[in-house]
Amino acid sequence: MSGIPERPQRPTGRIGEVTDPRVERLNALPPNARFDIGAQLYERMHWTRNVGIRMSDGVVLSADLVLPGDRAKPVTEPLPTVINFTPYNKIFQRGSGGAWVRALGERIGGSDRSHFTGRDLLHALAGGAPAALSVSPTLVRRGYAYLMVDVRGTGTSTGTWDFFSPTEQRDYAEVLQWARQQPWCNGKLALTGISYGALASLLTAGLQPDGLAAVFAIEGGEDAVRELGLPGGVPSPLVAVWLGAVNLLKWFPSLSGLRRTGAWREYLRDRISSPASWMRHAAQIALMADHPDILLNAMWASRVARLDKITIPTWIHGGWHDVYSRSNFRIYQRIATPPGAKQVVVDDCYHLAPGSGFGAPDAPQYLDELQCAWFDRWLKGIRNNIEYYGPITVRRLGGGWLSCDQYPDPAARVRRLYLSADASGSAPHAHVDGALSFDPPDRVARLPVPTRRPSIRSNNTAVSAIGLATLLGRTFGSDDRHAEASAVTFTTEPFDADVVVSGPLNLHLWVKAEGEEAFWSVTVTDVEPDGASAPVSRGALLSSLRAVDETASTYVDGELLAAEHPMTAESVLPVVPGRPFDIDIDINATDAVIRAGHRLRVAVGRGGFPRYSLSRSQRRKSRGQAIIIDPAHPSYLSFLAVGEALPRRFTGADTMTGVGDETDRSDEEKRRP
């Protein structure tokens, strides 16, 4: 199957090219396998704060260098070096990996993980992510040099911040080149980081710099603009919060660091010339009519990692409810490294909680220890068997941890559930309570999508708040019934047996808009016997961006499962008021078990603040909108599933992805890349 990571059955020898000696796959290890990282070799960490690294254009980046040693001094022999790029001011990240942080998280403890809770968010302090976010004592005390770098225009570094720009990418490469020339580096480099640092790591790896031997990327993205900046083609308020945080933190430099590098004049000049980098541009995108950067273009493309150029061992860590959840398996699939030398781990967590529950008997090893084992294998050549892990390790929603060779589950088959206007009887709270059925609808109905703003008590709020909203209770994360009050819902009958939904989903709708634009927000949920509606995955799309690039989309047995929308100026399709059209909304890949007695639900709305917020121009063009239930143009959810509770896959004409004769649609409304 294309578009989703798949590989042949594991052979007895090497996976990948025969000439690649790095990985010889044997029997995969379970998710809770433990890898020996050895005892601490050094008792102290010696800091050299605010080391100046001059770039080729004269900008001075500020970095903390940390070396292991004894009580008196650091070691003198060269060491493998780990580099972490951050825009969040390294001053505020110092010490976050200390033992006291883990102790606090252990004291709080986690939940039973039937649902992710605010308690699990706090328990993430014990899972090893804080050590991976900052200078890691786990690494340094086991014989690594560590370099934490403020990216250009942030922290104590001079220059103007321009996130992930070609200039910043050049900085990444120059820092690596500089590090290899230092006496404390043995020439072997690794990159790591969470979120921005993960994205920077992937961008750098795609440049294929000399000496880079491994990457450990936690909650990074394939395309930050598509996923974080313009999800579904509309601005996200989270971007304004993020830009504000970075710009605020850059005004708190290390004064001693500026004196050390002699760059205080340049620092002041650059901060005064760009006091709030990107804030004005972001406001223009949201407020100006038809701003060119509200669509994907060459400028945005220059900030995307060349994942297919990555050939070094790479560890990808993600979460089902992360802002970058679309990327988890897409990154894994695109990286050119053989399985084993590339790994993907996906947890039931949010952006602020990677590693929550790690270290428990049935869970993976602490995240910082996995990071150490990964670098031990690829930088030190220690045969610790970590290449036999996974290579795909997930916490199945509604289930537990599992390892697999292929994703989606190779036993899964394509299923289709049709949207119907018949009441399911399970969602009296919803604006419309429709049904999901294996049979196409037998009557025509128009189901208006309500215009009122959705409740902020929703999973979308928790995703946007990077998990913090879960501290406010279950309705901010694992029960979406408040949000469904402003949505049109479609729900199945209770399943007779457990069913596993594995992989991406696609919602095909036949719709009508009263204006020249319409936005569609979709949430797929697991409806429990008590009525709680637990989100499984989500997707969104602006109607004018509905064009599908069929060559880049994922089809299985002829069924569209993951639509790839170009979202460029060239791909824009008109929305004619009052004229029906079809739209395919890609829904992020998941792996969830729907238990016997539970139901599957699709909720369709026209918003999802604070995750989505239409620009002023997009709002002006939007009026009423409705889903049209029509036997001649059926709407349906397509997905992959394992379970006897589902009927056999449909055959014949039902396997086609079209929705009626081509003569029913204008040329502009047909799919085109």
pLDDT digits (tens, 9 = 90+) for 423-452: 999 999 999 999 999 999 999 999 999 998
The per-residue pLDDT for 131 is 84
Q: Which of 20-34, 255-269, 559-573 has the lowest mean pLDDT?
A: 20-34
Name residues whose C-beta falls within 8 Å of residue 620's C-beta, 6 or more positions apart in sequence: 289
Name residues whose C-beta falls within 8 Å of residue 182's C-beta, 6 or more positions apart in sequence: none
CATH code of the domain occupying 47-404: 3.40.50.1820
Q: What is the pLDDT of residues 194-208, one digit of tens each?
A: 999 999 999 999 999
Q: Which of 87-101, 154-168, 571-585 has the lowest mean pLDDT?
A: 87-101
- Can you tell me the mean pLDDT for 368-387? 98
The per-residue pLDDT for 530 is 97
Confidence grade of residue 645 (pLDDT, cut at 50, 70, 90)? low
Confidence grade of residue 25 (pLDDT, cut at 50, 70, 90)? very low
Alpha helices in 109-235 (DSSP H): 118-123, 129-133, 137-140, 166-180, 196-206, 224
Write the CA distances from 321 to 26, 29, 471, integer angstroms.
32, 26, 15
- Can you tell me the mean pLDDT for 211-229? 98
Domains 47-404 and 413-642 share a fold: no
- Can you tell me the mean pLDDT for 266-292? 96
Strands 185-194 and 79-86, bridge-based pairing:
parallel
Residue 673 has pLDDT above 70, yes or no: no
* Total count of residues recorded for the chain: 673
- How far apart, in whole angstroms, are the C-alpha atoms of residue 31 and residue 20? 25
Cα dihedral 88, 90, 94, 97, rounded to 10, equals: 60
The per-residue pLDDT for 19 is 33
| Cis preceding linkage at 183, omega within 30 | no
* HSE-up (13 A, CA, CB side) for residue 539: 25
- How far apart, in whole angstroms, are the C-alpha atoms of residue 316 and residue 294? 29
Closest CA to 468 of 216, 170, 122: 122
Q: What is the pLDDT of residues 593-614, one digit of tens each?
A: 999 999 999 999 999 889 999 9
Confidence grade of residue 454 (pLDDT, cut at 50, 70, 90)? confident
The CATH number for 413-642, chosen from 3.40.50.300, 3.40.50.11890, 1.20.1740.10, 2.60.120.260, is 2.60.120.260
The per-residue pLDDT for 84 is 98
The per-residue pLDDT for 424 is 97
- How far apart, in whole angstroms, are the C-alpha atoms of residue 137 and residue 148? 13
The per-residue pLDDT for 544 is 99
Q: What is the pLDDT of residues 96-137, one digit of tens each?
A: 777 788 888 888 888 888 899 999 999 999 999 888 788 999
Tell me if 361 sits within 8 A of 502, measured CB to CB.
no
Write the CA distances from 62 to 163, 269, 277, 432, 568, integer angstroms.
17, 16, 18, 56, 37
Average pLDDT value for the chain: 91
The per-residue pLDDT for 11 is 27
Tell me if 62 sits within 8 A of 150, measured CB to CB.
yes
Confidence grade of residue 7 (pLDDT, cut at 50, 70, 90)? very low
The per-residue pLDDT for 3 is 31
- How far apart, in whole angstroms, are the C-alpha atoms of residue 117 and residue 109? 11
Residue 15 has pLDDT above 90, yes or no: no
The per-residue pLDDT for 380 is 99
Strands of the sheet containing 79-86, edge to edge, are: 44-54, 60-69, 145-150, 79-86, 185-194, 212-218, 314-319, 342-347, 392-395, 401-404
Quickly count helices (H) and strands (E) in the chain: 17, 23
- How far apart, in whole angstroms, are the C-alpha atoms of residue 493 and residue 601? 10
Residue 478 has pLDDT above 90, yes or no: yes
What are φ and ψ of residue 659, in 5° steps? -130, 60
E strands of 384-430, at which residues?
Answer: 392-395, 401-404, 413-420
Confidence grade of residue 664 (pLDDT, cut at 50, 70, 90)? very low
Residue boundaries of the structural domains of the chain: 47-404, 413-642
- Percentage of the chain lying above the pLDDT 70 cut: 91
* HSE-up (13 A, CA, CB side) for residue 481: 13
Eight-state DSSP code of residue 93: G
Q: What is the pLDDT of residues 503-561, one digit of tens each?
A: 999 999 999 999 999 999 999 999 999 999 999 999 999 999 999 999 999 999 999 99
| Cis preceding linkage at 408, omega within 30 | yes
Residue 304 has pLDDT above 70, yes or no: yes
The per-residue pLDDT for 27 is 63
